[in-house]
Structure 1
């Protein structure tokens, strides 16, 4: 597995993977496609290609993008996983966990990861992944902002 910090030349790859991600999430969000059969990428997606405090990462296996993470720097030493996705055929193989751990190690500081309230599979994944990464040294809070639901807070220091 390789992590690629993507630049603008990879925006179309992200747009394609985002459609699959948003389809997976639609069971929890109720979102639907537009007249062209596409999900709305949201108002923040384009900022990952211009803002210095946003980091688009691709998960690459055998030269093929199989997932992504969109990370936002909140303050000088705090970060958030804003979006995270691995193709279904690559799930339950340890790839997502390793990808998340590697992302955490790229940025030292305080981290937060929030999940949609009804998305219990995501909550289970993040609790286990963060517990494994921190040795169970994390807090869980409630996020009233987007997304509304549980939020794990922890530190990453390498």
Structure 2
């Protein structure tokens, strides 16, 4: 499977315009919006992506077929902290969902822009809450802020994190560069797992020179990921028995990551028990 994130030119505007109609149709069950007199939802800001700076439009292709789009800008709903980039709109066609494509695309978008990120979701769109919680948690290894109830500007969850590279992050940067230079169909499929491993290794190394220090860092990473995974599972299944929660907390880091990665495919608590 070949996944491409392509910067959209002005010549691609009509393609984006058409896909945005599909996107807005998907969102219509969560937003109180009606069609205009031409039978369209329309999108007021599309032209701005080629007339204003700090706006970045992308088209997603899978095996060279149109599969969605991403719009990035710098418009923030949180004024108390600086924001460098924000996901304005993110859309994957239904045919290509639940295959890990959205996560791979999101990771690539984040890697293109280093800075303070903000991703907001509609209050009633529970699937998007789970998706972005899962993606951002894996990308940052739990190092993000979530405003579950939004703020005075936005009525819905808001996620914030930073991926600014510090001087000590050179090993992670090198790992990313290697990934982008790999050719073949599997490079983006491996992106999430390899990047997470690079970050874990780096964080473990920075814990200190002593072996016990590194092990402590790994345990802290496991604990943070377990708690975040349990939080996501509660959002999906509402009530999680205490014995299942206790079992997750005792799992290895690798098994917790497996649950996190398969979250969309786990349809019941019985299926979840197979991972324990």
Question: Same-fold call, TM > 0.5?
Answer: yes
Larger radius of gyration: 2
CA distance in 2, matches of 1:27, 1:21: 11
Query: Where in structure 2 are the equivalents of 1:1-158 lying within 5 Å?
Result: 1-42=3-44, 44-74=45-75, 78-141=84-147, 142-145=150-153, 147-157=154-164, 158=173
66-75 vs 26-35, which deviates more? 66-75
79-88 vs 54-63, which deviates more? 54-63
Change (3 A) 1:14 1:143: farther
Q: Deviations over 1:98-130 (max 9, x none)?
A: 000100000001100000111111111101010
CA distance in 1, matches of 2:67, 2:37: 27
| Post-superposition offset of 1:45 | 2.1
The 3-state SS of whatever aligns with 2:102 is helix
Change (3 A) 1:78 1:138: same
| Post-superposition offset of 1:82 | 0.6
- Greater share of strand: 1
- Residue 241 of structure 2 is matched in structure 1 by none
CA distance in 2, matches of 1:149, 1:143: 8
Q: CA RMSD in A?
A: 1.7
CA distance in 2, matches of 1:78, 1:34: 33
| Post-superposition offset of 1:77 | 6.8
- Greater share of helix: 2
Q: How many residues align?
A: 156
**Of the two structures, which has the highest relative contact order with CA contacts closer than 8 Å and spacing of 6 or more?**
1
The 3-state SS of whatever aligns with 2:28 is helix
CA distance in 1, matches of 2:75, 2:42: 24
Q: Is the 8 A contact 1:114 1:143 kept in 2?
A: no
